[in-house]
């Protein structure tokens, strides 16, 4: 379960035109949510605050006001414990792929749950095969295509079997086939899924949809109504 209690994010920066003064900007208005559904989608325009909301869930960003609790833990005080149980997939896979080869990257994710090296190697091959990367165990990460990197990033996170998965645009670099595969995979997960997406068809398959606009959740409810609200708002731009 994910709970936000008046959680907001404000950032400050030096005013380049006035030395000694600071500027403040609200990234996310104080927000209160209790998310218990199995599959939740977050939609909104670029820069609306979707990713900020997503990052609050596992403590990659902490609120400057209010509180966020995930799986009963305060993300500001128990960030590492939260992140050990909540997986996060970034929009840009290069932001999370840190090892030289595809196999090593998945193995890094498994080092805590599969301590035996031979068992871990077998599990790595199994995980990569599931994502169409069976022939890329030894492939340098930099040699992979954007779509393959995105699949590798998702594979590494899911290998840890998180209780909650936060996925920030996890299919933007994928072709139609792999988008469908990933969407079906996320739908079948036992974990709670918070999906940030521009894919309105994927959003409509969620149990609940949040619409974020200009740093505020402006709609929270049924997928069809949420998508209609978003499309209407975009048409007015």
Cα atoms in the Cβ-side hemisphere of radius 13 Å centred on 147? 12
Beta bridge partners of 211: 43, 219
pLDDT in tens, 1-12: 999 999 999 988
CA gap 175, 148 in Å, rounded:
10
pLDDT value of residue 237: 66
* HSE-CB of 86 using CA atoms within 13 angstroms: 27
CB-based contact 207:39 (threshold 8 Å): yes
CA 212 vs. chain centroid, Å, equals 15
pLDDT reported for residue 210: 96
The residue written with tokens 């871990």 in the block is 120
pLDDT: which is higher, 121 or 16: 121
Residue/partner pairs of 74-77 with CB below 8 Å, 24 or more apart: none
Say which residue the tokens 């978003």 belong to. 230
8-state DSSP, 144 = S
Average of per-residue pLDDT values in the chain = 90
Q: Which two three-digit tokens encode residue 192?
A: 């709670």
Q: Residue 158: name the closest of 104, 201, 110, 230 by CA.
A: 110
**pLDDT at position 23:** 80
């Amino acid at each position: 379960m994910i709970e936000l209690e008046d959680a907001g994010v404000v950032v400050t920066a030096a005013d380049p035109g006035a030395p000694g003064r600071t500027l403040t900007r609200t990234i996310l208005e104080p927000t209160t949510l209790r998310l218990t559904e199995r599959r939740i989608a977050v939609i909104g325009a670029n820069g609306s605050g979707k990713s900020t909301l997503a990052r609050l869930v596992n403590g990659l960003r902490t609120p400057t006001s209010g509180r966020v609790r995930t799986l009963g833990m305060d993300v500001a005080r128990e960030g590492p414990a939260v992140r050990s149980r909540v997986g996060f997939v970034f929009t840009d896979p290069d932001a999370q792929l840190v090892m030289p080869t595809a196999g090593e990257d998945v193995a890094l994710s498994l080092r805590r749950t599969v301590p035996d090296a031979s068992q871990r190697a077998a599990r790595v091959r199994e995980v990569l095969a599931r994502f169409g990367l069976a022939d890329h165990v030894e492939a340098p990460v930099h040699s992979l295509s954007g779509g393959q990197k995105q699949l590798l990033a998702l594979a590494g996170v899911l290998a840890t079997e998180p209780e909650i998965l936060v996925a920030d645009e996890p299919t933007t670099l994928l072709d139609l086939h792999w988008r469908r595969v990933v969407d079906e995979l996320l739908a079948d997960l036992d974990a709670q899924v918070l999906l940030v997406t521009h894919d309105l068809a994927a959003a409509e398959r969620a149990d609940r949809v949040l619409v974020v606009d200009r740093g505020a959740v402006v709609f929270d409810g049924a997928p069809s109504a949420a998508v209609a609200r978003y499309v209407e708002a975009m048409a007015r731009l």
